[in-house]
Amino acid sequence: MAVKDYLRERFLPHMWCPGCGHGTILNALVHAVEDLQLNKNEIVMVSGIGCSARISGYVDFHSLHTLHGRALAFATGVKLSRPHLKVLVPMGDGDALAIGGNHFIHAARRNIDMTAIVMNNRIYGMTGGQFSPLSGPGVKATTAPYKTIDNSFDVVELAKAAGATFVARSTAFHVKECTEMLAKAILHKGFSVVEIMSQCPTHFGRKNKEGDAVNMLGLYRDNTAKLGSKALEEKPGLIPRGIFVEQERPEYCEEYDKIIAYAMKEKIS
């Protein structure tokens, strides 16, 4: 199936600003799904609210555009009731780690088989550029005219600590890497988290003097390095990219099936 067969062309063009990284993430995701030759009827995309959340409208999967921060909670209902479905959960940084932070750590703890994609642009774009829990200190935003003092979460460390069994990070500059990571994450049995750093030239770039989209992408190229690379060894201050965790642990829906088998046997005997 061609890439365009995974898109709902009727609903394009998308509503993202020129230069937004989210379109690149959509591109990488659709290519990952194409590479895996997944059946569209078996994919459910559940998103929250915000710029990131609109991604679910553009893909020709079963799509559920939910409430701010609650995508993983809705997705848990979908997955547990129909475990054979592939569940993809793209979220913005606010969705995943501010209002939805509780659902994020608990979905990771359960190790329920779904793929959380954190489209991290370090800003609330839809509401006009307020800082997020991933902005970090020293950032200018419409609610931080004097710069932020809030520390940020490290998505990778948080996901690891909460029990996610696949954790990766890439950026909108590294499209092929994103595609490969997303494909691996989708195939992974368990809760997978892929953080993709995504430029928001409209709100983050402009206020923080990071320039236009091309310039911001250049920063992703220059300020990140592959796990295990010489560059990272030499400059430990760079943001590491790659797969940080990939391990097998009992998956929630499979464990629940064992409960069902046990409960049914108990009832008969």
Partner 1 sequence: MPKNIRFVQGNEACVEGALYAGLDFYAGYPITPSTEIAELLSERLPERGGKFIQMEDEIASMCAIIGASLTGKKVMTATSGPGFSLKQEAIGYACMAEIPCVIANVQRGGPSTGNPTHVSQGDINQARWGTHGDHSIIALTASNHQDVFKMTVDAFNMAETYRTPVVLLFDEVVGHMREKLIVPEKGELEIVDRLRTSVAKDVDYHPYLPREDGRLPMSDFGGEHRYNVTGLFHDMWGFPSNNPKIVSGLLRHLVDKIDNNVQAITRYKEHCLEGAEYILVSYGSSARSAIHLAQNRRSKGEKIGVLELQSLWPFPVELVKEKCAGAKAVLVVEMNMGQVLTQVKAAVKNPDRVFLANRIDGKLITPSDIKQLLRVIQGRGV
**First and final C-alpha spacing in the chain:** 49
Residues 203-221 as b or e (16 or more Cβ within 10 Å = b) = bbbebbebeebeebbebbe
Give the x-and-dash track for 37-56 against partner 1 (CB under 8 A). Answer: ---xxx-x-x---------x
Assess 74 for contact with partner 1 (CB under 8 A).
Answer: yes
Assess 82 for contact with partner 1 (CB under 8 A).
Answer: yes
Q: For partner 1, which is the closer residue by CB, 32 or 178?
A: 32
Q: For partner 1, which is the closer residue by CB, 19 or 83?
A: 83
Assess 141 for contact with partner 1 (CB under 8 A).
Answer: no
Assess 5 for contact with partner 1 (CB under 8 A).
Answer: no
Length of the chain: 269
CB of 209 to partner 1, least distance (A): 34
CB of 123 to partner 1, least distance (A): 22
Assess 230 for contact with partner 1 (CB under 8 A).
Answer: no
Number of residues forming the site for partner 1 (CB under 8 A) = 40
Q: What is the residue type of 105?
A: I
Secondary structure class of 262 (helix, strand, coil):
helix
Assess 189 for contact with partner 1 (CB under 8 A).
Answer: no
Assess 263 for contact with partner 1 (CB under 8 A).
Answer: yes
Q: For partner 1, which is the closer residue by CB, 109 or 160?
A: 109
DSSP sequence for 92-119: EHHHHHTTTHHHHHHHHHHT-SEEEEEE
Residues 162-197 as b or e (16 or more Cβ within 10 Å = b) = bbbbbbbbbbbbbbebbbbbbbbbbebebbbbbbbb
| Virtual torsion, Cα 174, 178, 180, 181, nearest 10 deg | 130
Assess 7 for contact with partner 1 (CB under 8 A).
Answer: no
CB of 196 to partner 1, least distance (A): 23
Strand partners, 133: none
Question: Are 193 and 155 spatial neighbours (Cβ–Cβ below 8 Å)?
Answer: yes
Assess 62 for contact with partner 1 (CB under 8 A).
Answer: yes
Residues lying near partner 1 in the complex (CB under 8 A): 11, 40-42, 44, 46, 56-57, 60-67, 70, 73-82, 84-85, 102-103, 106, 256, 259-260, 262-264, 266-267
